[in-house]
């Protein structure tokens, strides 16, 4: 009797699965198809055509990206990016490979911060000074072989006074040798997508094969900014080492003249010229400005201020509106599982032309259910973002698991397991 009941249930399941999928007719077209659009090189614009038209004629910077045709800054290459959205606001020769002087220390400090986070080292660890670190020229704190400083003190010397000897001592402490540390720098650059970059030393002294680009510098700066502790060093104007015997003063003079400046690193060599990666934050918007190859310190700081002013004057960030009613899963028809998990990656904030929009709202577009089979990563719906001027953009809602279609063998297996538990 029991086997007969299982047989009847399996037959009913097969009949059901073979029926025309009339119930699935209301699933929106395209939601069950794999999205083959390529996004790797697609720019992310948050401006709707309505917003751009509204700003035209009243603001000369209506596009999300300006360049030297819009305005120029006195340097070889420049880049301006907003931290949270990653939106590029200005670019000038952004991919040109150039010497970058002590801007290189951003990567050195990043690897030190990551070593601290992982527990590999601590701020109180003693960093020995080798003959190699002692031999560094350029800006320094005049370390002596055998002299000992803590990681905290070496970081301070590196970030504030751009000390080459301190940077190399840290590199040796973290990597075992400067050469091994440079291999770590290049591997981290590869992971961050810094395709225009190659390091051969940890401090940025001029050397063949040591270069980066304004765009790549922004990438490692953004990664370093994920470690808020770095601001405890990059915002120091003046401090002391060796128990007060050695005074250090920050090479970033914007700390004394620009509202909201938070860092990050300056650099100067004969080949690189005068450079800066300047970071600043006002209210809830944070910017990164990169200036490479300026002719003088005055032009470097002037260019950085011009870029930051452009960003703060013309753009603003707004929090992404709350999304109510977005379920964690959807019902499944003809599937082994009754429901399937879904996900939608939404930003915390959005970047807009200042004053171009006011109220933001969202609409969820989802079918009542999906029909098996479907696969992880397929689009099943969207979250649409609206401003007072209309729809701005939409964010895909994706399956976060495979949805397997039920068949005779799977149905029999399920029924057998259930009957065995009775």
Q: Out of 48, 85, 102, 382, pick the active-site residue.
A: 102
Q: Out of 48, 92, 104, 105, pick the active-site residue.
A: 105
Tell me which residue of 173, 171, 154 sits closest to 163, measured CA to CA: 154
Catalytic residue list contains 388 = no
| Token reading at 138 | 């350029």
pLDDT confidence of residue 388: 78
Peptide bond into 320 cis (omega under 30): no
Residue with the larger pLDDT of the pair 376 and 408: 376
Cα 57 off chain centre by: 33
Contacts of 363 (CB under 8 A, 6+ apart): 383, 384, 386
Domain covering 324-422 in this structure, CATH number: 2.60.410.10
pLDDT confidence of residue 51: 35
User: What are the domain boundaries of the chain?
Assistant: 74-318, 324-422
Least confident of 44-53, 171-180, 290-299, 371-380: 44-53
Residue with the larger pLDDT of the pair 406 and 242: 242
Three-state secondary structure readout of 243-309: HHCEEEECCCHHHHCCCCEEEEEEEEECCCEEEEEEEEEECCEEEEEEEEEECCHHHHHHHHHHHHH
Q: What is the largest CA-CA distance in the chain?
A: 95
Per-residue pLDDT averaged across 6-28, rounded? 42
Q: Is the pLDDT of residue 63 over 50?
A: no
CA distances from 75 to 45, 162, 288, 311 (A): 27, 21, 16, 18
Peptide bond into 373 cis (omega under 30): yes
**In angstroms, rounded to a whole number, what is the distance separating the alpha carbons of residues 146 and 136?**
15
Per-residue pLDDT averaged across 23-30, rounded? 31
**104-113 pLDDT, tens digit each:** 999 999 999 9
How many residues are present in the chain? 422
Contacts of 317 (CB under 8 A, 6+ apart): 82, 84, 85, 284, 285, 349, 350, 351, 352
Catalytic residue list contains 102 = yes
* Confidence label for 16 from pLDDT (cuts 50, 70 and 90): very low
Catalytic residue list contains 162 = yes
Q: Out of 48, 85, 162, 382, pick the active-site residue.
A: 162
Assess if CATH 3.40.710.10 describes domain 74-318.
yes
| Token reading at 304 | 């950085």
């Amino acid at each position: 009797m029991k086997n007969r009941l299982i047989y009847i249930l399996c037959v009913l399941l097969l009949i059901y699965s073979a029926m025309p999928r009339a119930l699935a007719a209301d699933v929106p077209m395209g939601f069950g198809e794999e999205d083959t659009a390529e996004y790797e090189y697609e720019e992310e614009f948050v401006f709707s055509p309505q917003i751009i038209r509204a700003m035209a004629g009243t603001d000369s910077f209506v596009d999300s990206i300006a360049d030297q045709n819009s305005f120029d800054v006195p340097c070889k290459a420049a880049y301006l990016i907003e931290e949270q959205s990653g939106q590029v606001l200005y670019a000038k020769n952004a991919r040109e490979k150039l010497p970058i002087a002590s801007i290189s220390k951003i990567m050195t400090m990043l690897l030190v911060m990551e070593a601290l986070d992982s527990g590999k080292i601590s701020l109180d660890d003693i960093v020995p000074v080798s003959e190699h670190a002692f031999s560094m020229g350029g800006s320094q704190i005049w370390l002596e072989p055998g002299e000992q400083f803590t990681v905290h003190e070496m970081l301070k010397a590196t970030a504030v006074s751009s000390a080459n000897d301190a940077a190399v001592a840290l590199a040796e402490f973290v990597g075992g040798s400067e050469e091994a540390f440079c291999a770590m720098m290049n591997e981290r650059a590869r992971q961050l997508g810094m395709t225009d970059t190659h390091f051969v030393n940890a401090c940025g002294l001029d050397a063949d094969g040591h270069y980066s680009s304004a765009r790549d510098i922004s990438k490692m700066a953004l990664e370093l900014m994920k470690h808020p502790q770095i601001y405890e060093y990059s915002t120091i104007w003046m401090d002391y080492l060796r128990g007060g015997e050695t005074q250090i003063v920050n090479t970033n003079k914007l700390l004394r003249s620009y509202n909201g400046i938070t860092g990050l690193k300056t650099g100067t060599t004969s080949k690189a010229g005068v450079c800066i990666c300047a970071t600043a934050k006002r209210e809830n918007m944070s910017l990164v400005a990169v200036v490479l190859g300026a002719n003088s310190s005055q032009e470097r700081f002037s260019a950085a201020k011009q870029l930051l002013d452009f960003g703060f004057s013309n753009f603003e960030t707004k929090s992404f509106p709350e999304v109510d009613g977005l379920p964690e899963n959807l019902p499944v028809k003809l599937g082994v599982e009754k429901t399937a998990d879904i996900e939608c990656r939404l930003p915390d904030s959005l970047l807009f032309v200042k004053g171009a929009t006011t109220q933001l709202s969202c609409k969820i577009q989802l079918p009542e259910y999906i029909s098996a089979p479907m696969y992880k990563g397929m689009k099943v719906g969207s979250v649409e973002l609206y401003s007072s001027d209309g729809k701005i953009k939409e964010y895909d809602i994706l399956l976060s698991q495979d949805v397997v279609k039920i068949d005779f063998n799977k149905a029999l297996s399920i029924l057998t397991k259930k009957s065995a538990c009775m």
